[in-house]
Structure 1
Amino acid sequence: MIRVLIVARSLIMQAGLEAMLIHEPTIQVVGRTADLTTLEQFFRSQQIDVVVLEFALLTDTNLEMLTSQEEVAIALLVSPTEAYSAIALLRSGVRAILPLDITTDEMILTVEAIAAGLVVLHPDVSDILLQELPESNEPVQSEALDAPLTPREVEVLQLMATGLGNKAIARQLNISEHTVKFHISSIFSKLNASSRTEAVTLGMRQGLIFI
């Protein structure tokens, strides 16, 4: 059972988020609050696995407190008008960044995924992350990799995660199919993967790509 705490400003939003999750047999909503000062009390009294948190309530202080809870996965809900750095949030320990208008199915899948240790980035948010990546061919560092992936390789791996084939990836990135095959070969080598599925799984575990 995945135990979820909902943190949102309004009672209406709290109720709406709970309604998305309450009928899923693998998920239990154990609390709702708008007061982040009560979070430590929740952590002491409840075994929390996932915190679904409205980004507007987030401060550096409570983010540090939340990410210090090693067994707790954090999902942030952001509005299109809010300014934030996806890379900074993910590096701090946030496991998911989602739009406020997320669907019920997307919410359930997100809670299950981050509780299992994966990182989730909604497609509406992934564009922001790609904009933050360096435009040069400098590698994106990852301590667990023998050799880091380049930003272009990260893009290819992200598109692989959506199920696109080589031709579709080539069209999406406006490059040749031969170049896509070259990037995939390099990705397999760097991640020590033997299949597309394994490469995507390893990429998610390293926080390089998001679903």
Structure 2
Amino acid sequence: MLIAAGSELMRSGLAAMVGRLPGVEHVQECADPVQAVTLVETQRIAVLVTSPPLPHGDFEVLAAGAARNHARTLVVLRDYDLPTPEVVAQAVAMPADGFLLESELTASTLADTLVRVARGQAPVPPSLAQGLLSRLRSVESEPIRRQFLLTPRELEVLELLVEGLSNKEIARRLSMSEHGVKRHVGAVLAKLNCPNRTVAVAFVLQKGLMYVR
């Protein structure tokens, strides 16, 4: 696992917390985004944990390098309290596989989030998810419905993807089979022309496309 953050305090704190988690065999710290890119592209790293401040361009390159080497990216956002519009906007711009808020960071939340990220889920803290959904719900539904021809059920699935739910959790929420959810997720990804659910969520957030139930 690689910890890459501009703040030495955050970097060392995360490394110490991750190092005490069961099942974690090796933890590296890196303060230099360029060196971090080299590490994620040349070494077998399962999860990249990073936290601002990192220059936006450096983060983009780092996240892209992690994705090329099949590493997941978890971002710890600094919020200090409830997520502000600035924190929400920052999350929208980041192609991450999951998020944690610094104010909610504990050994338990970190362990749970890392497990979910490793499983291919897209964990988002509830308070941040509420901010994201509030931002999305301020936009009319017609653009995404008309442009991408999503069905009402596909739109429901997309909203739950934005909340970071797994296929099993979506199936439970919508009273569907997991097979049915998998089929709808595949249809959503195909219509949005996105290779995976994380990219689809980032695309929807960045474009401001969403619907109101």
TM range (shorter): 0.5 to 0.7
Instruction: Return structure 1 stretches of 4+ with deviation > 3 angstroms.
Output: 85-88, 137-141, 145-153, 155-161, 197-200, 205-209
Distance 1:152 1:72 in 2: 25
Matches within 5 A, 1:34-183: 34-69=31-66, 70=68, 71-80=70-79, 82-83=86-87, 84-89=89-94, 93-101=95-103, 102-134=105-137, 135-138=139-142, 147=151, 149-150=154-155, 154=159, 158=163
Q: Deviations over 1:47-74 (max 9, x none)?
A: 1111111122141243134224330111
Q: CA RMSD for the aligned pairs?
A: 4.1
Q: Deviations over 1:5-60 (max 9, x none)?
A: 11123333222112222122322343112211211332355311111111221412
Q: Deviations over 1:71-108 (max 9, x none)?
A: 0111111122644253442xxx3101211131111111
TM-score by length of 1: 0.63
Give ranges in structure 1 of 5+ residues lacking alignment.
Answer: 170-183
| Residue 180 (structure 1) aligns with | none
Q: Which has the larger radius of gyration?
A: 1
Identity %: 21
> Quick one: structure 1 residues 11 and 56, their matched pair in 2 at CA, closer, same or farther if it must change by over 3 Å?
closer
Q: Which has the higher helix share?
A: 2
Give ranges in structure 2 of 5+ residues lacking alignment.
Answer: 186-195, 202-213
The one-letter code sitting in structure 1 at the alignment partner of 2:159 is V
| SS of equivalent to 2:121 | coil
> Quick one: structure 1 residues 140 and 94, their matched pair in 2 at CA, closer, same or farther if it must change by over 3 Å?
farther
1:23 aligns with 2:27: no
Distance 1:140 1:88 in 2: 19
Distance 1:194 1:150 in 2: 17
| Residue 8 (structure 2) aligns with | 11
Q: How many residues align?
A: 176
> Quick one: structure 1 residues 152 and 66, their matched pair in 2 at CA, closer, same or farther if it must change by over 3 Å?
closer
